[in-house]
Amino acid sequence: MTVAAKIETADVRHDWREDEVEALFAQPFMDLLHRAHTVHRANFDPNRIQISRLLSIKTGSCPEDCKYCPQSAHYATGLDKEKLLQVEQVVEAAAKAKADGASRFCMGAAWRGPNGEDFEVALAMVEGVKALGLETCASFGLLSRDQAQRLKHAGLDYYNHNVDTSPEHYEEIISTRTYQDRLDTLEHVREAGLHVCSGGIVGLGEGNADRAKMLVTLATMPKHPDSVPINLLIPVPGTPLADQPRPDPFDFIRTIAVARILMPRSFVRLSAGRQGMSDEMQALCFFAGANSVFCGEKLLTAPNSSPESDASLFGRLGLGPL
Ligand code: SAM
Ligand code: DTB
Ligand code: SF4
Catalytic residue among 137, 150, 260, 274: 137
Is 301 close to ligand 3, i.e. is its CB under 6 Å away?
no
Give the separation between CA 221 and CA 47, rounded to whole angstroms.
28
Give the separation between CA 213 and CA 156, rounded to whole angstroms.
29
Is 165 close to ligand 1, i.e. is its CB under 6 Å away?
no
User: How much is the pLDDT for 147?
Assistant: 97
Looking at all shown ligands, the one closest to residue 244's CA atom is 1
From 106, 271, 292, give the residue whose CB has the most ligand 2 atoms within 8 Å, as the site to mutate. Answer: 271
| Inter-axis angle of helices 18-26 and 249-262, nearest 10 | 130
Give the separation between CA 222 and CA 215, rounded to whole angstroms.
14
Give the separation between CA 263 and CA 268, rounded to whole angstroms.
9
Taking CA atoms, 200 is separated from 1, 172, 179, in Å, by 33, 15, 12
Q: Which atom of ligand 1 is nearest to the CA of 302?
A: 23
Centre of ligand 3 to C-alpha 295, Å, is: 21
Give the separation between CA 252 and CA 98, rounded to whole angstroms.
30
Query: DSSP 3-state helix, strand, coil percentages of the chain (rounded to 5)?
Result: 45, 15, 40
Question: Contact 141/103 with Cβ under 8 angstroms?
Answer: no
Is 233 close to ligand 1, i.e. is its CB under 6 Å away?
yes
Nearest to 137 by CA among 294, 288, 255, 245: 294
User: How much is the pLDDT for 4?
Assistant: 45
Centre of ligand 3 to C-alpha 200, Å, is: 13
Give the separation between CA 192 and CA 190, rounded to whole angstroms.
5
* Whole-prediction pTM: 0.94
Q: Which atom of ligand 2 is nearest to the CA of 299?
A: 14
| Inter-axis angle of helices 279-287 and 307-317, nearest 10 | 50
Alpha carbon 321 to chain centroid, angstroms: 18
From 69, 159, 179, give the residue whose CB has the most ligand 3 atoms within 8 Å, as the site to mutate. Answer: 69
Return the DSSP state at 303.
B
pLDDT tens for each residue of the chain, 322 residues long? 444 444 455 579 999 999 999 999 999 999 999 999 999 999 999 999 998 899 999 999 999 999 999 999 999 998 877 899 999 999 999 999 888 878 899 999 999 999 999 999 999 999 999 999 999 999 999 999 999 999 999 999 999 999 999 999 999 999 999 999 999 999 999 999 999 999 999 999 999 999 999 999 999 999 999 999 999 999 999 999 999 999 999 999 999 999 999 999 999 999 999 998 999 999 999 999 999 999 889 999 999 999 999 999 999 999 998 8
From 52, 61, 66, give the residue whose CB has the most ligand 1 atoms within 8 Å, as the site to mutate. Answer: 66
Our answer to whether residue 254 is catalytic in this structure is no
